[in-house]
């Protein structure tokens, strides 16, 4: 059974030394999900929803307008985001839903060619906490096989829609080949948990510095997103003078890939690049550093 930890590092945070003495490690995550969401065409009992533009149609009817929001992410948004990351020489982590890459076969090889990390985000963009143990196990295996085929790389990290089931972490460890998961929002630093009697690495994620707030509420304009990015960076950079930490940035191609929001991302990357001792890192690089230095 999963136990809860309310203490964490507490009064004794580790004295973290990032590569080259960086004061902050920044992990840029791009969620690539478009084409793997709920769809009546795929035999689902309901279609995907979109809280940014609520649909007037019932869930058991196709909404072509809503579908087009997702299509924009794969047709346009993903390329805009990748080009912006290239502009600032930022290597990120792509949380990849396997079916989405199957449906846009140009994207997977390009993620790898541009130096980003391929990360397991499920076969489809669905709630794995609703699955029974064996169905979830099979979904993990199917995801790994598909991503290896479409990208040429095996994912070493795992995270699913919203969060894990009670079985997720055990199944990921049992599958083998993974080095870490990001199924937590509990810290600003990686940490270890016990899984089946073994030490397991968690590189936590964030829903705070995340463009989903445009859809779920909490952000109404690109300037809100920029201020959230900047405020988070400023605070963690300040703390990093004595105790360096990690900043998560969560992006979605159909959301931040829109022009007005994309420029907020550009402006932030330009701002952060203006500081010394900043490490833009793939999550696998953070994981490997932690496994090597903080066992």
Reported as a pLDDT band with limits 50, 70 and 90, residue 295 is confident
Ramachandran assignment for 50, one of left (phi > 0), alpha (psi -120 to 50 degrees), beta (any other): beta
The angle, 0 to 180 degrees and rounded to 10, between the axes of the packed helices 259-272 and 222-239 is: 20
Q: What CATH code would you report for 19-293? A: 3.20.20.370
Reported as a pLDDT band with limits 50, 70 and 90, residue 2 is low
Reported as a pLDDT band with limits 50, 70 and 90, residue 76 is very high
**Residue count (the chain):** 295
Q: How far apart are CA 173 and CA 269, in angstroms?
A: 35
Checking if the pLDDT of 49 tops 90, the result is no
């Amino acid at each position: 059974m999963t136990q809860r930890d309310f203490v964490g590092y507490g009064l004794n945070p580790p004295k973290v030394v990032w590569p080259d003495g960086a004061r902050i490690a920044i992990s840029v995550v791009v969620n690539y999900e478009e084409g793997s969401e709920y769809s009546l065409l795929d035999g689902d009992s309901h279609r995907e929803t979109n809280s940014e533009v609520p649909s007037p149609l019932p869930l058991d009817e196709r909404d072509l307008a809503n579908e087009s929001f997702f299509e924009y992410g794969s047709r346009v948004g993903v390329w805009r985001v990748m080009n912006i990351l290239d502009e600032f020489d930022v290597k990120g982590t792509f949380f990849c839903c396997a079916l989405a890459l199957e449906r846009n076969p140009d994207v997977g090889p390009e993620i790898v060619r541009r130096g980003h990390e391929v990360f397991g985000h499920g076969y489809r963009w669905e709630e794995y906490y609703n699955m029974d143990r064996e169905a979830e196990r099979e979904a993990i295996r199917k995801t790994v096989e598909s991503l290896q085929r479409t990208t040429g790389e095996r994912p070493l990290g795992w995270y699913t829609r919203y969060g894990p089931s009670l079985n997720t972490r055990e199944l990921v460890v049992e599958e083998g080949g993974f080095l870490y998961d990001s199924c937590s929002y509990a810290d600003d630093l990686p940490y270890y948990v016990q899984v089946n009697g073994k030490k397991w690495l968690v590189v936590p994620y964030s829903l705070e510095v995340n463009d989903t707030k445009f859809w779920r509420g909490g952000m109404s304009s690109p300037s809100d997103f920029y201020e959230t990015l900047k405020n988070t960076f400023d605070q963690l950079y300040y703390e990093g003078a004595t105790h360096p930490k990690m900043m998560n940035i969560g992006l979605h191609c159909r959301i931040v890939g829109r022009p007005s929001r994309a420029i907020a991302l550009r402006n932030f990357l330009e701002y952060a690049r203006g500081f010394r001792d900043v490490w833009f890192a793939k999550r696998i690089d953070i994981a490997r550093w932690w496994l090597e230095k903080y066992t």
